[in-house]
Amino acid sequence: MNSMAESSSVKKGTGGLNLPTGMDVTINLNPSTPCRLKVPKTSSPSKTIYSDRFIPCRSSSRLQNFALVDKPSPGKDGGNDVYQNLLRAELFGEDFVVTSPAKSVASPISSPNKNMFRFKTDHSAPSSPFSAVNLGNDGGVMGELSTPPKIPRKISKTPHKVLDAPSLQDDFYLNLVDWSSQNVLAVGLGTCVYLWTATSGKVTKLCDLGPRDIVCSVQWTKEGSYLAVGTSLGEIEIWDGSSCKKIRTMYGHHTRTGVLSWNSCILASGSRDKNILQHDIRISSDYISKFIGHRSEVCGLKWSHDERELASGGNDNLLLVWSLHSQKPLHEFTEHKAAVKAIAWSPHQHGILASGGGTADRCIRFWNTSNKNMLNSIDTGSQVCNLAWCKNVNEIVSTHGYSQNQIMVWKYPSMNKVATLTGHTLRVLYLAMSPDGQTIVTGAGDETLRFWNVFPSKKTESSHDIGVWSLGRTHIR
């Protein structure tokens, strides 16, 4: 009885073993013999046996997209083999390095069956909300984490205003249009200078030089109160734009004064006599200094925004940079192959200067005047007549002559073309920008002035109707 009781108690406990129900277990408790557990094998074909490891379903992970990279052939370029062997050695050890008979460098054991993995495109994979998508009709594909493309700014291809300007000369070396900070446009037409007030459309005849002289250049002061007028006789007249009265006349040039540039009370003038004069309207003398450096007519002139440097371009293909306190140029750039009329300083970055060459050059070049380096050169395909940098955005506009007669808007510094505007039938020789930096006016030998909305503005511009205005009755048709 005792042995039966002991056997029964052990069968119930089974030594802590968790056995299936219905199994017979025999345990021998004789101390002289080892304990042995006998579990009869039972087959259960109707039951599914699960392992203790969880293997997830990878049907959606697209692991089939990974394929083996074939071993590079000995005849291929060795540069790729070196990279592949280095990558194999770093990932899998030196035993995976593949040697090429064409190389003299010894390498570890070659293993042609050991290959790396690469990713291949799976066109049969099901679509996923995170997979690449096709955008637009241009066939472009955006990656999984890429941001939406920026919508380009729309620029009207037609001018919103057209001014009829007879006697506007078709002369590359003249500068006959300027827009003041008080929103008044000055235009030189033959022997006369006209003022057009943008807010009211009123036209005022400022002056008439007479039959012996012709207007060659006009330039407003930064405040927009005084207008300098350069003439074919080499004289410079200073006029009060509000009262239409002449303040004074300054001399010094021997022939036409085709370009002007203000620096506070200092006026720089460039002439066909190859000289650049500095005039101070506060003193009685005609000029205070003379810059001699060009070997031909000076046709481009522009002070930097900090008024420390003066850039000049000439018909000698030179671009010079001057200081007000030095009689010699600070920098001399000789890369242009034609006359340099178009000059513009960046309002966004100190010391960045843009210049454009004539018909034989056709290039817009960018310079860093701090280290004298040329930053970039773009062949525009046409004569570069004018350049102007927008103060609202980092973009630059150029006007062109032979042979496209177009207007181009560029994104800086990438120089991606934003827009190309056409409409003038002759060279677009004249360019000025509105005080708000949004509108430009262009003039050509076709005797028209065209106003274009090309740059963005913080303020919403009121709508304009397309129309034609005249600058007066005497010279306007």
- The confidence score (pLDDT) of residue 91 equals 75
- The confidence score (pLDDT) of residue 142 equals 43
Q: Is the pLDDT of residue 35 over 70?
A: no
Single-letter residue type at 436: D
Q: Is the pLDDT of residue 111 over 80?
A: no
Question: Which residues touch 307 (CB under 8 Å, ≥6 apart)?
Answer: 263, 264, 324
Q: Are 164 and 431 in contact (CB under 8 A)?
A: no
pLDDT tens string 294-326: 999 999 999 999 999 999 999 999 999 999 888
Q: Are 193 and 215 in contact (CB under 8 A)?
A: yes
- Round to the nearest angstrom and report the end-to-end CA distance of the chain: 138
Q: Does domain 174-292 have CATH number 2.130.10.10?
A: yes
CATH of 153-168+380-477, one of 3.30.70.20, 1.10.287.3510, 1.20.1070.10, 2.130.10.10: 2.130.10.10
Q: Would you state the structure tokens that stand for residue 433, as one six-digit string? A: 């920008």
Please tell me whether the overall predicted TM-score, pTM, comes out greater than 0.85 for this model.
no
pLDDT tens string 321-333: 999 888 899 999 9
- The confidence score (pLDDT) of residue 183 equals 96
83: confidence class by pLDDT, cuts 50, 70, 90: confident
Fold identical between 153-168+380-477 and 174-292?
Answer: yes
Q: Scanning the structure block, which residue is given the tokens 């002449």?
A: 246
Per-chain mean pLDDT for the chain: 80
Q: Which residue has the higher pLDDT, 369 or 64?
A: 369
User: What percent of the chain has pLDDT above 70?
Assistant: 67
Q: Scanning the structure block, which residue is given the tokens 């919403």?
A: 460
pLDDT tens string 395-415: 999 999 998 999 999 999 999
Q: Is the pLDDT of residue 41 over 70?
A: no
408/370 Cα distance (integer angstroms): 28
81: confidence class by pLDDT, cuts 50, 70, 90: confident
Q: Where are the domains of the chain?
A: 153-168+380-477, 174-292
For residue 418, the number of C-alpha atoms closer than 13 Å in the C-beta half-sphere is 26
Q: Scanning the structure block, which residue is given the tokens 């808007």?
A: 409
